[in-house]
Structure 1
Amino acid sequence: MGDKPSVCEERVYNQIYRSHAESLRNYLYYKFGDLQRAEDIVHDSFVKLWSKCSTVIYEKVAGFLYAIARNLMMDTLRSKKVALKFEKGLVPVHDKEDPYFLLRTKEFRLKVESVISNLPEKQREAFLMNRIDKLTFKEIALRLNVSETAIEKRISKALIKLNAIEEIKKYSI
């Protein structure tokens, strides 16, 4: 039994975190389109892993983390309506910036985020892997086990949808 590492050992747990945290965050972000929520859920998933470390088999830790993260994300999506109602009631106050500029910037960011989050999953995944992770079409194709042509089409379709936003012509993506 001494051969198998224990998830409860701090050294092993830290190594698991270093190995899986970033890819788990990216998975959640690409799948659901919300970076802040993805980062929070990664944190919560590792807290849950630590609390259940004695029951998790080292070889199955990645599956455990992904299952917990996916379930937590689904729970947060179910409660999203309540959070959105609350957020709509909040209005930040900025004294130094032109209020019109702030409003336009916020509206533009929300439009871009909305378009990205509403992209079909495969388009969003390929687009974000290219733009966020800076992966080439070939690298994405290898990771997703599809052809480069499929990746080119997915990213092209995503860009067409993003270019439909009028302000996109003023800013670069």
Structure 2
Amino acid sequence: MPKIPEDHICEESVFEKTYHSFSKSLHDYLYYKYGNLCNPNDTTQEAFIKLWDNCKKVSFAKAKSFLFTVANNLVLNQIKHQKIVLKHRQIVPKNHTNETPEFLMEENQFLERYNAVLANMKEEFRVAFLLSKAENKKHREIAELLGVTTKVVEYRVYSAFAILKKELEGFKLK
């Protein structure tokens, strides 16, 4: 191989020669050491991308060492990540709650009463209330959707809230 000045690895022709000189041996090293699990083609390409990003810091004499070290570290990071993924897959999410059966029953009964009161409410109140509280729309947006003024929307939302408060004991909104 011809003598290449150390500080010119950022030149395209020198980098191309570096690639042709070391890419096959780097690929083979990764394949023999880790097999197909590390995807040696991609890892080789990533190592050369890192070399290009750091071409001003790495001399030609140290390019081979840099490439092999970077590629090895990339594979080790992939393996670490796979171990973490496997660890998290083994964690079983809890499928129980700390609520008592009485609380759950009361919650279901309250939800049924809430839905019944909503169903018996005037449609204009119900629609404005649900758009405001369930879909978090601003009064101005609701007014545009319904083709009314913001004052009308405010009246409808607060009227629906008053009906719910009157019909349901302990009804509060955040």
- Identify whether the pair has TM-score above 0.5, normalized to the shorter chain: no
TM-score category by the smaller chain? 0.3 to 0.5
> TM-score normalised to the size of structure 2?
0.44
Larger-Rg structure? 2
TM-score scaled by structure 1?
Answer: 0.44
